[in-house]
Amino acid sequence: MATAVFACALGASALLLFAAWCDLATRTIPDGLSVGIAALGLLARSTEGPASVAASLLVAAVLYYAVFVPLHAFSALGGGDAKLLTASAIGLAPLATFDLLVSTVMAGGALSLLYLSLRLLPRPLPLPPQPHAWRASRILSLERRRFNRRGPLPYAVAIAVGGIFTLMKPFGA
């Protein structure tokens, strides 16, 4: 059982990292990643019985409708970020969901401080256009442009850090 839960946690961690990469590259998070994370979470929680699954689904639904949807309505949280956080919460025990939220907020604060500190640096020269959207140099160029226009943070990076920290915590990693 513990091996299956660990495998689900590793799979969800990989999907969270890919969601962070997609958010950096395109500022979008594919819905399929959230669905995959939710499915892995349900699989992991099902090893503890139907009551555990029901508790996780209830907590995730309350968070989504009571917290994430209003934040999205006020443009404080992107729609993909709301879905990604909800999907991550589905695979966690109710108390671990609190850990997810706290670690995500702390990672988001660190990400914000990084972006704010980068504003103190002189503006870099623009990079020439890159043809491949997924190359690191292309993403760096796009981030510089978004940064100069004061665009939104790639909050999936913070969600990935918080999610991976919370998922790996029971395993001592």
Asked whether 8 and 40 are in contact (CB, 8 A), the reply is yes
Sign of CA dihedral 30, 32, 37, 41: positive
Which residue matches tokens 């969600």?
Answer: 159
Would you say residue 86 has pLDDT above 80? yes
Phi, psi of 161 (to 5 degrees): -65, -50
Which residue matches tokens 């499915």?
Answer: 39
Q: pLDDT exceeding 90 applies to what percent of the chain?
A: 66
User: What are the tens digits of pLDDT across the range 153-170?
Assistant: 899 999 999 999 999 988
User: What are the tens digits of pLDDT across the range 47-68?
Assistant: 999 999 999 999 999 999 999 9
Host domain of residue 12? 2-171
Q: What is the reported pTM?
A: 0.86
Q: Residue range 89-98: average pLDDT?
A: 94
- Tell me how many domains the chain contains: 1
Smallest CA-to-CA distance from 126 within 150, 104, 143 is with 143
Smallest CA-to-CA distance from 33 within 112, 88, 108 is with 88
Query: What is the average pLDDT value for the chain, to the nearest integer?
Result: 88
Q: Residue range 67-85: average pLDDT?
A: 94
d(CA 153, CA 147): 9
User: What are the tens digits of pLDDT across the range 111-147?
Assistant: 988 877 776 666 655 556 655 555 666 666 677 777 7
